[in-house]
Structure 1
Amino acid sequence: DPFGDVIKTIMNAIHNEAKLSPICDLGSQNYEQWAVQKERQAAKEEDKTVRVCAEFLRRYNEGLILSNTIRMSDALSYLNKFHEEQVKKKTSVDGEQNIQITDTERFLFKLFKDKKEELETFSKNPKYENDSLSKLREQILREFSSRGQARGIIFTKTRHSAITLSQWIQENPKFADVEVKPSHVIGGGDQSDTKPMTAAEQKDVLKKFRAGEVNLLVATTVAEEGLDIPACNFVIRYGLSTNEIAMIQAKGRGRADDSSYTVVDVKNSGVAERECVNEYREEMMGKAINKIKGQSREAYQKQMMEFQLQAIMEERMRQVKRKQKAIKDEKPSHVKFSCRNCAKPVCSGEDIQIIENMHRVNVTTQFKELFIQRENATLQERLLDYETNAVIACKDCGQPWGSVMVYRGMDFPCLHVKNFVVNINGKKISNCTKWSDLPIRFTAFDYIEHASMMAQGSDEEMG
């Protein structure tokens, strides 16, 4: 795996630069968790070198996982895109603002630049294709060659891998020879870097699958439950294993009498081991069901009543704890926010107001002096009362802070808490990924007050 070896060489050079010593395998989920923890700890300690190195290591680890799952060229595209974004962060919009580039960032940029040509060379050589992809190709060709009316689903872990696997199948002439007509179906939630699918887009793909225009779906776990997918005669789980329930649901998609269920392992995924555990759990589940069937109706109903009462009491206790936590909400004045990358103080909780119980905006005029604004077409989102169409970033270091929100005709910087280190009464918190993680009640946004101020300012300018 020379392509993967180059990525590992880059990662080890970063380990030396940041004096880091991971104890888990590169290209594994455990390594990703380690890198995330290092980034959070470094952000809290204001260690810029380790923080930025940990972020790059997490991305290289993802590239390594991708190269073990999909094409090397797809993994390289992912890394290219990440580096282009990082370089863009350090480029001012108008050329006038000097954005700080640290020696560590220069080292990281040069490291990728020096190795890029080598990665490109290996990615173009088909003999270095990963074994898992070869096994998947063989299994797909076997299914479509041995069945008159083959129709199947490939389950994969991420949206990115679902899209790129579908593209790989479309671009490979061997699949066209056996009349494979692929498409992908992914989730609709907006929780990853990959653009989600709308309900209408999902419906359109499934309609084509029913009609036979598509005979192979590449899907994330959204297709295991919650989507009405027609019967198919083979299911492949590619580098994906969750629990025994998901395994049974995936098998259930193959409803034909001669349907098959195949698991293709991916390097460092642990899929084969988990699938063995799931099969054992499925067997135990069957025994438990048979035992329940042997109970009398009275004994069964009594036991069910006990379980239901226990569940009700546990939920009541959780509600009490949630109320107690709400009572302990800190005052906004006790909260400070600093840039996650350069640790520059940004604002206080008193400067933040909340729109529609969801969007946290900074309404102060002094805050506008701290950030630069960039257009971002991929971010564009339009709803009834608001839209977002630009990114705001730290004027000093280029770290993204959030987006520009146009709410009923007025522009406001909308903050994303994951981009900051939060300080509550002197205690630093660096693992907040969403605003609900913070026990803070921000002031509600007053539209009339701000609209009046804006109108007054416009009148004065015209006068």
Structure 2
Amino acid sequence: MIATDIDINENNLVDMKPSLELMRLFPVFAQFRDEIRVLLETYAKEVDKDPRSLPDKELGTKELLTAFERYMYMKGKEDNDVELFEYQKELAREGCEGESVVIMAPTNSGKTYVGSRIMQVHLRRQKAQALLAKVIFVVENEALAFQQGKLFAKKLPAYRTKVFTGSVQRDKQQYLWDFLASRDIFVVTAQVLVNALKTGQIQSLTQFSLIVFDECHHSNQQHRYNEILWKYIEMKLQPGTDVAGLPQKRMMFSECFDDEPENPKLVKMGQILQDVLVADNTSRGIISVKTRELAKALVSWINETDNLKILHASEFVGQNVATSKGSMTKCKQKDALEYFKGGRHKVIIATSVAEEGLDIRKCNLVIRYEHVTNEIVRRQSIGRVRTDFSRYLVISEEGSWILDKEEENHRCEELMNPIVPHLQAFIDDRVNLWENELLTIQTEMKEERDREKERRRLNMVNQVQFQCLNCSAFICRSDDIKCIMGVHHIITDPDADERLRLERDAPYFVEPEGLEYGGQVYCANVSCQLKLGVICTFFKYKYIDFPLISLKAFRVVNPDGTGKSYKVWKNVPCKIADFTFDDLRDV
């Protein structure tokens, strides 16, 4: 038996066959043996065992080395308070007190610094009480993951941070669940966490003590954030659940044209670029567009126009498809941002990857070219223009739906601004009432969700089932499928997401009616992973993703248990209803 009060000496180390690296560091190892003993005792507490009764296999060289490495990591890593402005301290106050909060503040007001301070206070408190101290920070995309991970490593050096994205797991074979014991802060893309929960590699959200959602306004409908939050609510409302043991939550908030001067939109944008950027060498501008094809075309147009080429325009697009299809590598994204900040590129043309959260500070012109979304993104875009005499503009054809949507977003923003302080005051004045109402709402939502599941289960008797052709896993019923534009078939049942694995990607095709296609849909069965289709996104009215399925990937099963696969939808033994844009407004 090896206990924590062993005499750590060179003979013991030899007997345990330590690594060459550990032997090389032996003089330092021996020097800090008392500190290492404390770390080993902490380890024993974590596994809930008497330090004196740990068997060799649990407290051998690996654990000694792990404890030593952690000590050496902490040595010289001072846990200094994250410095905040007074308004940021106010934003962080309730979160630091352990409350579940939504932090709403203007773009570029330093919400990530606020989150860093909350995480720091949480980790200190949990470790001081010998409680679980693991923070998971959930973001939308890979670029944000690396950006926020770099910031946490700088601001919170005393805590070990690790970034996990799809490419990290795929290229480096490093997985979230393998690092749970050796890291304090996990910065992950939402899809990584969703997949880990689906496959059971992460058994429960209770493996983390704090969850922080970046850009939490995404938590609606079928978004990945919503999938995670439903897991949380279901745990919270489960009978017998110790709510105090649940993790705390923090919420952070294609076109064709030519070079001819007759194109009025390009003429107008050229005048704006000339007046704002060319005339001032310190100015910077961002042009936001919908597709990478348009971004590439505008870069060529600017760099080939005599009076604008001095701007050295550059594109900034996603990295989720092959570079041959127009994506950028991580290195190229980093270079583009650095060159923009340094002035080598005075204007960048960006797709949505640059619209949320990316740290682009030196900017006094934002143009949304034939591209608007909602009032939240509008607020973020306006927040990017940080200098005096800055300008935010939308360029589109007169009378287009884009201008109508922008006006609607403006009205929504004007309504939102006075409501927020009133809502905050209401919550502060009626804390108990608010908490009770919130619990009631969550309970009612769960009950309705359970009732809907039961209704669907009972209706399955008379419905045709769609099963994975490879593993026969149930995916959906026939009335969960709708036909769009008379051609494509999508699954509208939100519960089907539990049986599917979605890998989102940049769109490869955009419909003028407000649809775009991109990403992959797979069977969620870990031993199967058959590709079942692609992702269809409705973006004109609301950003909602639906699985668009390939019929040949399914086995269609009749109520009597017989079934077969089909190649064309007209031969399927059931009627598939149409899905209209009027239906979409009701979603």
State the TM-score bracket (shorter-chain normalisation). Answer: 0.3 to 0.5
Higher helix share: 1
TM-score, normalisation: structure 1: 0.44
- TM-score, normalising length from structure 2? 0.35
